[in-house]
Amino acid sequence: MARTFYDEMYDASGAVRPHYQAFSRWLADTPEELLAQRRREADLLFHRAGITFTLYGDDQGTERLIPFDIIPRSIPASEWRIVERGCIQRVQALNMFLGDLYHDQRIIKAGIVPAEQVLANEGYQIAMQGLNLHRDLYAHIAGVDLVRDGDGSYYVLEDNLRTPSGVSYMLEDRKMMMRLFPELFAAQRVAPVDHYPNLLLDTLKSSSPLDNPNVVVLTPGRFNSTYFEHAFLSREMGVELVEGADLFVRDDKLFMRTTSGAVQVDVIYRRLDDAFLDPLAFNPGSMLGVPGLLACYRSGNVVLANAVGTGVADDKSVYPYVDDMIRFYLSEEPILKNVPTFQCRKPAELSHVLANLEQLVVKETQGSGGYGMLVGPAASKAEIAEFRTRLIARPEAYIAQPTLCLSTCPTFVERGIAPRHIDLRPFVLSGKETRIVPGGLTRVALREGSLVVNSSQGGGTKDTWVVEDSSC
Amino acid sequence: MLSRTASDLYWMSRYLERAENLARMLDVSYSLSLMPQDGRGDGLEELALPLLITGTLDDYLERHGPMHAERMLNFFALDASNPGSIYCCLQAARSNAHAVRGRITADMWENINATWLEIRGIAEQGLGRYGISRFCEWVKERSHLFRGATFGTIMRGDPYRFIRLGTFIERADNTLRLIDARYEMLGEDIDEVDGRPARSYYQWTALLRALSSFEAFAEIYRGSPDTRKVSELLLLRADIPRSLRACMDELNLMLASLPGDNGRPAQRLAAELEARLRYTSIEEVLDEGLHAWLTDFILLVRQLGQAIQSSYLEVA
């Protein structure tokens, strides 16, 4: 089957795109041996710095490196401005959707989103009903996953509104590129990203009505797969990194245990799922959370970022309605495209999906991290058969989408430089205003032909550049 | 700061200091074991001393049978299943650092992480191939580097103070134990036989070298080391960085500058111990009996450690 991929660096005729020309000249002038040496240096530095992640299901708790590719993903500034506006628009609409959902439910009454889609959803938290949040913000930090189809147009694959991760790699990758190849940054203007922690702290502070709230980062602990990022962000922001056991609730207020006694906490940037936050309110077996936290949250004495119950809006079964949300709340046309989605809970769409499994990507509505999905064109007959059974058993738990072509970017692999598929996750911060640092995290599927970019599935990362068009 | 963070910082530096002291212990014993033993055996007794000091000798005998030079050295230095080994101390230090990597500077973290990555390589090679003296040097050097990175980069706030507390509690304990063990080894030996330096000369010299205090000793006393002079130097002199007095001065200073009232028991005890050392002469120590005095002080330092633990690191 002939499929055309959009390549970030080369156009269809094989010529270098304008915004890659400076890089391409540099690449041609740099001996391959030097590049290989710098790659080894990068590995060593990442290892030394302990910039690692832990794989779930690996009992050894081995700390692994996320493969870093030295060829950057570059986006011209004019193109970036569209992506930026599109992401901001989307996250604004999603925040309004969440506020509406937990209050008047106008969008349900208007018949745009079916009630059973949201109210029966696992991500919907009844405890949030009627609760007023400062600035009506739910998803203070969002990660929007974007891919490009064969013609180069951007599609939103999913909106991560719970605890999106990866921003530390965006920052560390840039630091590494500047260290290894400073000459590249002298040759062209790349928009800086290293003020992200600053914006994040600003966003977290503005999530509280207090003037100078005490902000902390809540981590499940150092065996969590993204512990590095929690430690990294708390350090960069200069705030405490706490675990559940460091916190306690007294008189509906939240305190942390310090060497000079109890100190009140006002804002929690939590990197812990809803279910683990409070053993009294959610999962009683959770050792990670703080007993009484939800009551304290409900009485307005502490802010959680992101809010409880955002999962209902990034659920894959709600995803098909985001375009309508944008029109409903903002009276605007969506700037970024949604991938056409078949909802398997609808019998007509299910039968279409079952008839075309070889061409489709099937995902669990609640899934993330690349676990529990089927990529039809890359799957074996046995895998397809297995998924068919699962689909028939629980159609409502799945959606299906056409297999996107996913753009490629030249990448260093064992045998020199070859194109590999990539995606893009910009991080959207919502506080007093909605902001994005230029770029985001580019993930790359290192296996030839693979479309799965998740680090848990062998994906790597690339530095992401937004370059001024004038410097092309 | 968070009690848990304070605890991790404190134990990180304790374990690192312990690793350094273990290396110093190993260094002195190893070099003495290579000396003529005057018919007192084959040097195994000397090699067993570090295990005896750290209370791991029984464990060794149980698991590895009779004393054997190479096995003892390996058990003491690189055995991952011996919680008292240098290897395990560095592992514990790195693990504590990992838990607070957001509270220490990147220079500190990368340093301690690199130490951990390297010792795993050394363990794979084996101590014999790496070389014992070279290994001891390496441990000391890594500890120096970390201390330098700490001193040169971290803000002088509470984290810094808890790191220092860990270092000096551990060092005070180790200095006391090292002197005690060396003194025990000498037994009834007198310091000088017919005007000729006796075995004690080599013992004290090796100890001074292990504690990097030989140059200071030579400069201050201009003579050969004996029990009185060495004890005075390593217990009572404030200007010797590894002496008990220097450790207590630092502990007292750090504790006094910590905020809050939680720590009063620890602060009071540290001030008492500091005053006791300041106003004690070596004659009083020797009159009481060196071993008895050292044993007594080891207990006091342990009490101080417990007071720090309960005042700051476990508060509710």
Residue A260 has pLDDT above 60, yes or no: yes
> pLDDT at position A472, please?
44
Give the whole-number percent of chain A exceeding pLDDT 70. Answer: 96
**CA angle at A106 for the pair A296 and A298, rounded to the nearest 5°:** 5
B186 is written with which tokens? 């000498």
**Whole-number pLDDT of residue A370:** 63
Q: What is the pLDDT of residue B180?
A: 92
Chain A contacts of B263, Cβ < 8 Å?
A: 259
Q: How far is B152 from chain A (nearest CA, A)?
A: 18
Interface test with A, best of B2, B105, B108, B119 (most A CBs within 10 A): B2
Do B207 and B178 meet the contact criterion of CB atoms below 8 Å apart? yes
Mean pLDDT of A13-23: 93
Task: Please give the pLDDT value at position A116.
Answer: 87
Each residue's pLDDT, cut to its tens digit, for chain B (316 residues) gives 899 999 999 999 999 999 999 999 998 888 888 877 665 567 788 888 899 888 899 999 999 999 888 899 999 999 999 999 999 999 999 999 999 988 899 999 999 999 999 999 999 988 888 999 999 999 999 999 999 999 999 999 999 999 999 999 999 999 999 999 888 877 655 555 555 556 788 889 889 988 999 999 999 998 889 899 999 999 999 999 999 999 999 999 999 999 888 889 999 999 999 999 999 999 999 999 999 999 999 999 999 999 999 989 886 5
pLDDT at site B40: 59
Q: Does A108 touch chain B (CB under 8 A)?
A: no
CA angle A463, A178, A53 (to 5 degrees): 50
Give CA–CA dist B166/B9, Å, rounded: 8
Pairing state of beta strands A459-467 and A68-76? parallel
| Count of Cβ atoms closer than 10 Å to residue A352 Cβ | 14
Find residues 187-246 of chain B whose CB sits inside 8 Å of chain A. Answer: none
Across the interface, whether the CB atoms of A259 and B114 are under 8 A apart is answered no
**CB-CB neighbors (< 8 A) of A230 in chain B:** 102
| DSSP secondary structure, chain B, as one string | -BHHHHHHHHHHHHHHHHHHHHHHHHHHHHHHHTS--TTS-SSHHHHHHHHHHTT-HHHHHHHH-S--HHHHHHHHHT-TT-TTSHHHHHHHHHHHHHHTTTTS-HHHHHHHHHHHHHHHHHHHH-HHHH-HHHHHHHHHHHHHHHHHHHHHHS-SSHHHHHHHHHHHHHHHHHHHHHHHHHHHHHTT--SEETTEE-HHHHHHHHHHHHTT-HHHHHHHH-S---HHHHHIIIII-TTSTTSHHHHHHHHHHHHHTS-SSTTHHHHHHHHHHHHHHHT--HHHHHHH-HHHHHHHHHHHHHHHHHHHIIIIIS--
Nearest to B168, CA basis, from B2, B37, B316, B21: B21
More confident residue, A453 or B80: B80
Which has the higher per-residue pLDDT, A377 or B91? B91
- Contact at CB, B1 and A246, closer than 8 angstroms: no
- Continuous segment of H or E residues that includes residue A257: strand A253-258
Contacts of A126 (CB under 8 A, 6+ apart): none
Q: What is the mean pLDDT of residues A368-375?
A: 73
Q: What chain A residue is nearest to B118 in terms of C-alpha separation? A: A48
> Position A198: which residue type?
N
Of chain A, the end-to-end C-alpha distance in Å amounts to 35
Q: Measuring CA to CA, how many Å separate A195 from each of A436, B99, B209? A: 11, 25, 50
pLDDT recorded at residue B46: 86
Q: Does the CA dihedral B216-B220-B223-B224 come out positive or negative?
A: negative
Using the Cβ of A209 and the Cβ atoms of chain B, whether some distance falls under 8 Å is answered with no
A258 touches chain B (CB under 8 A): yes
State residue A367's pLDDT score.
65
Q: Picking from A107-116, A406-415, B152-161, B285-294, which range would have the lowest pLDDT averaged per residue?
A: A406-415
pLDDT of residue B193: 52
Cross-chain Cβ contact A234/B110 below 8 Å: no
Residue numbers in A near B260 (CB within 8 A): 259-261
Interface contacts (A, B; CB < 8 Å): 70
Identify whether the C-beta of residue A77 lies closer than 8 Å to the C-beta of residue A192.
Answer: no
Which residues does chain B have within 8 Å of residue A256's beta carbon, measured at their own beta carbons?
A: 2
Higher pLDDT, B198 or A87: A87
Residue B224, CB-side half-sphere exposure with 13 Å CA sphere: 12
Confidence of residue A373 (pLDDT cuts 50, 70, 90): confident
Percent of chain A with pLDDT over 90: 71
As beta bridge partners, residue B60 has none
| Distances in whole angstroms, Cα of residue B6 to Cα of each of A249, A257, B79, B98 | 21, 11, 29, 13
Half-sphere exposure of A141 (CA within 13 A, CB side): 23
A397: left (phi over 0), alpha (psi -120 to 50) or beta: alpha
Q: How do the residues of chain A divide into helix, strand and coil, expressed in percent and rounded to 5? A: 40, 25, 40
CA triple B122-B81-A56, angle to 5 deg:
85
- Residue-level pLDDT at A223: 85
Q: How close are the terminal C-alpha atoms of chain B, in Å?
A: 13
Nearest residue of chain A to residue B314 (CA atoms): A259
Is residue A469 within 8 A of residue A447, CB to CB? The reply is no
pLDDT of residue A2: 39
Of A47, A241, A258, the CB nearest to B3: A258
User: How confident is residue A3, by pLDDT bands cut at 50, 70 and 90?
Assistant: low
Whether B139 and B19 have beta carbons less than 8 Å apart is answered as yes
Nearest CA in chain B to A222: B99
- Averaged over A79-107, what is the pLDDT? 97
Query: Are A235 and B110 inside 8 Å of each other by CB?
Result: no
Question: Which residues on B lie below 8 Å from A231 (Cβ)?
Answer: 101-102
- For residues A304 and B224, which has the higher predicted lDDT (pLDDT)? A304
Distance CA B26, CA B22 (A): 6
- CA–CA distance, A415 with A143 (Å, rounded to integer): 33
Residue B113: its chain A contacts at CB < 8 A?
A: 48-50
Residue A399 pLDDT exceeds 50: yes
Say whether pLDDT at A290 is over 50.
yes
pLDDT digits 0-9 by tens, A177-203: 999 999 999 888 999 999 999 999 999
Given pLDDT bands bounded at 50, 70 and 90, which one contains residue A234? very high
Considering Cα of A326, then A94, then A408, then A376, what sign does the dihedral take? negative
Across all residues in chain A, what is the average pLDDT? 91
Tell me the average pLDDT across A370-396.
87
Out of A48, A228, A242, the one facing B114 most closely (by C-beta) is A48
Q: Chain B within 8 Å of A246 (Cβ-Cβ)? A: yes
Q: What is the rounded CA–CA span in Å between residue A148 and residue B2?
A: 45
Average pLDDT for residues A14-22, to the nearest whole number?
Answer: 93
Q: How far is A462 from chain B (nearest CA, A)?
A: 22
Contact B231, B282 (CB under 8 A): yes
Residue, of B74 and A53, whose pLDDT is higher: B74
pLDDT at B298: 97
A234 and B CB contact within 8 Å: yes
CA–CA gap between residue A355 and residue A390 (Å, rounded): 15
Least CB–CB distance from B98: residue in A49, A222, A243: A222
Average pLDDT, integer, range A120-127: 91
pLDDT of residue B279: 96
* Tokens matching residue A85: 């506006």
pLDDT on residue A374: 87
Retrieve residue A426's tokens: 């910009």
In our burial notation (b when 16+ CB lie closer than 10 A, e otherwise), range B113-122 reads bbbbeebeeb
CB atoms within 10 A of CB A33: 8
Say how far apart CA A35 and CA A142 lie, in whole Å: 34
Q: What is the pLDDT of residue A360?
A: 92
Structure tokens at A122: 């696992």
Sign of the alpha-carbon torsion through B28, B29, B34, B37: positive
Q: All domains of chain A, ordered by start, with CATH?
A: 340-403 (3.30.1490.270)
Least confident of A1-10, A310-319, B65-74, B141-150: A1-10
Q: What is the pLDDT of residues A323-356, one digit of tens each?
A: 999 999 999 999 999 999 999 989 999 999 999 9
Chain A residue numbers touching B6 (CB-CB < 8 A) = 259
List chain A residues with CB under 8 Å of B110.
Answer: 48-50
B3–chain A Cβ distance below 8 A for any pair: yes
